[in-house]
């Protein structure tokens, strides 16, 4: 068994030689969860607050605070938009959740979402050069029910402290109302990453996957497994990008979405799924095996696997089948099993497999672009522009069945994505600030390089300490014992 390196680049070689692929996949998941717990305990979380202005002598306190700061308050009073330039608001995102639908773990109580929300903030800073704050809100009313209006009211009242809001991990159907109301009523962009972010990155991967299969988006037959906020948004954005809704069939735990679904039809809170009941599956196919016959693409954002997607379904699909198995933390089918069943392209939400379709490729660049343009909202067209930017970046590098979308460590993709989003914001008429593509690209690149240099400097100078290697090794050995 190989001793782990700090960067975990040899993780694949660290498991016993007699382990099967299924055992390695299970042990890897357990290892990552175990290490996450001990590493978060070691650091006490992963985000801190630090000033970006200097103290060059005692009198600088009088500039950063009273009496000098009075001028900042009155200037903003007379022109609220000055807050984007005179405070950190112009580069600050609030990551807001009621923690009712966190990953595959469901309702984890308000503070239970902090790990994910801090993770979003961490990635925004490192990948997009954007500052962020994690805010987990108790949205329960006196009856213990989660009230979407509580979230709406909180965001509406606090919006003047941030340049944008990233909604996260809000259960359905509340998530639909929260997003749609806030998008229209707030003066800053409100983005639901589970919905719009997932849709953007999935579309980017889909564009390149169907290109490799020599197919057209307007002609492919797509089956969706799962009808939550993520997959309903994927379907809606994919239709907006040119897919034919008549060639789409969506399933949830209660079966296929059709106009016969009274549960969606009769409850106005479920208006997003009902729209897809009306627009898709005109033949009212209700059996998933029938739906999978001749399907070109299966997009799953449903129950964690690994047995949610059956290999037999993949064998029913058309030539060069494309599988997106994006449940977290365990995909609906492991990539090796999908390949054995004949999958041409297999994508998951995990970075330890090829083709990671993860929101982290989307939200740092999209929010950076929106902030640079001082956008009032993020339109669907801005999300589609980001998807095309991601797809084109990967295509320039050379796409293949194991590389349909950029990786998180390809830093150059984020300035391109941010610049395209800023340009689309201007085109859509939602930008307060008009800048050129070159200005946006250079601005984003400069901020991202600053963030990454700061991260590395903190490690080099010991302000961020390296975790002990035995901590990694103990987590690995524990995971192996659980699976052996």
Which are the contacts of 11, defined by CB distance < 8 A and separation ≥ 6? 4, 28, 31, 352
pLDDT given at position 280: 97
What does the pLDDT read at residue 1? 59
pLDDT digits over 139-184, tens only? 999 999 999 999 999 999 999 999 999 999 999 899 999 999 999 9
The whole-number pLDDT of residue 194 equals: 83
Instruction: Tell me the three state secondary structure of residue 353.
Output: coil
Question: Per-residue pLDDT averaged across 120-129, rounded?
Answer: 96
Average pLDDT, integer, range 36-64: 95
- With a CB cutoff of 8 Å and minimum separation 6, the contacts of 368 are 128, 129, 130, 414, 418, 421, 444, 447, 448
The answer to whether residue 455 is domain-embedded is no
Residue 94 inside a domain? The answer is yes
From 26, 28, 120, 215, the catalytic residue: 120
Identify whether 79 is part of a domain. yes
More confident residue, 230 or 164: 164
Mark whether 334 is an active-site residue.
no
Question: Tens of pLDDT along 246-269?
Answer: 999 999 999 999 999 999 999 999
Question: What pLDDT score was predicted for residue 21?
Answer: 86
Q: What angle do CA 212, 217, 220 make, to 5 degrees?
A: 90
Residue 228 lies in a domain: no
Would residue 227 count as lying in a domain? no
Can you tell me the mean pLDDT for 186-203? 93
Q: Is pLDDT at 104 greater than 80 in this prediction?
A: no
> Does residue 133 lie in a domain region?
yes
Mean pLDDT of the chain: 95
**Which pLDDT belongs to residue 351?**
83
Mean predicted confidence (pLDDT) in 76-90:
97
pLDDT of 434 > 90? The answer is yes
Q: 475 pLDDT exceeds 70?
A: yes
**Single pTM value for the model:** 0.93
Range of the domain at 143: 62-188
Catalytic residue (choose from 33, 43, 65, 396): 65
Q: Is the pLDDT of residue 307 over 80?
A: yes
Chain segment 338-393, per-residue pLDDT in tens: 999 999 999 999 888 999 999 999 999 999 999 999 999 999 999 999 999 999 99
Let me know: does 421 contact 361? Beta carbons within 8 Å.
no
Is 101 within a domain?
yes
pLDDT digits (tens, 9 = 90+) for 20-43: 988 998 899 899 999 999 999 999
Q: What is the DSSP annotation of 419-460?
A: HHHHHHHHHTT-BSS---HHHHHHHHHHHHHHHHHHHHHHHH
What gap in Å lies between CA 188 and CA 159, rounded to an integer? 7
pLDDT of the residue at 22:
86
Catalytic (active site) residue 43: no
pLDDT of 305: 85
Q: Which helix (H) or strand (E) holds 133?
A: strand 131-136
Q: Is residue 445 part of a domain?
A: no
Q: Hey, what are 107's tokens?
A: 């309702």
Distances 35 to 9, 229, 302, 360, 458 between C-alpha atoms, Å:
15, 29, 25, 20, 22
Q: Quote the number of domains for the chain.
A: 1
First vs last Cα of the chain: how many Å apart? 14
- Give exposure, 451-477, as e/b (b: 16+ Cβ within 10 Å): beebeeeeeeeeeeeeeeeebbeebbe
Residue 154 DSSP SS3: helix
Residue 423 has pLDDT above 80, yes or no: yes
For 270-295, write each residue's pLDDT tens digit: 999 999 999 999 999 999 999 999 99
Q: What is the CATH number of the domain that holds 118?
A: 3.40.50.10380
- Two tokens, residue 435: 């800048």
In this prediction, residue 34 carries a pLDDT of 96
- The strand ranges marked E within 229-341 are 248-252, 255-256, 297-300, 322-325
């Amino acid at each position: 068994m190989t001793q782990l390196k700090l960067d975990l680049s040899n993780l694949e070689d660290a498991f016993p030689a007699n382990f099967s692929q299924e055992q390695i996949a299970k042990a890897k998941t357990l290892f990552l969860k175990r290490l996450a717990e001990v590493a978060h305990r070691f650091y006490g979380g992963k985000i801190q607050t630090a000033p970006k202005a200097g103290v060059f002598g005692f009198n600088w306190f009088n500039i950063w605070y009273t009496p000098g700061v009075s001028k900042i308050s009155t200037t903003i009073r007379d022109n609220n938009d000055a807050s984007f330039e005179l405070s950190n608001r112009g580069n600050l995102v609030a990551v807001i959740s009621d923690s009712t639908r966190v990953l595959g773990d469901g309702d984890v109580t308000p503070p239970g979402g902090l790990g994910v929300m801090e993770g979003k903030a961490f990635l925004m800073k490192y990948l997009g050069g954007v500052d962020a704050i994690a805010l987990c809100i108790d949205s329960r009313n006196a009856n213990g029910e989660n009230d979407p209006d509580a979230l709406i009211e909180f965001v509406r009242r606090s919006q003047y402290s941030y340049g944008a809001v990233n909604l996260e991990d809000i259960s359905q159907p509340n998530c639909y109302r929260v997003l749609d109301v806030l998008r229209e009523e707030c003066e800053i962009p409100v983005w639901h990453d589970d919905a719009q972010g997932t849709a953007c990155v999935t579309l980017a991967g889909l564009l390149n996957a169907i290109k490799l299969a020599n197919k057209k988006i307007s002609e492919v037959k797509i089956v969706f497994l799962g009808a939550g906020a993520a997959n309903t948004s994927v379907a809606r954005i994919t239709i907006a990008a040119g897919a034919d809704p008549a060639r789409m069939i969506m399933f949830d735990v209660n079966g296929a979405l059709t106009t016969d679904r009274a549960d969606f039809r009769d409850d106005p809170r479920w208006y997003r799924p009902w729209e897809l009941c009306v627009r898709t599956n005109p033949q009212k196919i209700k059996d998933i095996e029938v739906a999978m016959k001749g399907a070109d693409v299966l997009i799953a954002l449903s129950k964690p696997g690994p047995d949610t997607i059956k290999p037999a379904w993949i064998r029913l699909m058309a030539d060069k089948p494309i599988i997106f198995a994006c449940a977290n933390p365990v995909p609906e089918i492991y990539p090796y099993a999908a390949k054995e069943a004949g999958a041409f392209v297999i994508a998951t939400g995990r970075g330890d497999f090829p083709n990671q379709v993860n929101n982290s490729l989307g939200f740092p660049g999209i929010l950076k672009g929106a902030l640079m343009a001082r956008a009032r909202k993020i339109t669907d067209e801005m999300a589609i522009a980001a998807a095309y930017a991601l797809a084109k970046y990967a295509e320039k590098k050379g796409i293949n069945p194991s590389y349909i979308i950029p990786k998180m460590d390809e830093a150059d993709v984020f300035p391109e994505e941010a610049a395209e989003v800023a340009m689309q914001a201007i085109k859509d008429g939602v930008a307060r600030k008009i800048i050129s593509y070159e200005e946006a690209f250079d601005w984003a690149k400069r901020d991202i390089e600053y963030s990454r240099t700061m991260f590395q400097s903190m490690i080099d100078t010991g302000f961020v300490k390296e975790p002990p290697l035995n901590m990694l090794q103990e987590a690995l050995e524990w995971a192996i014992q659980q699976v052996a």
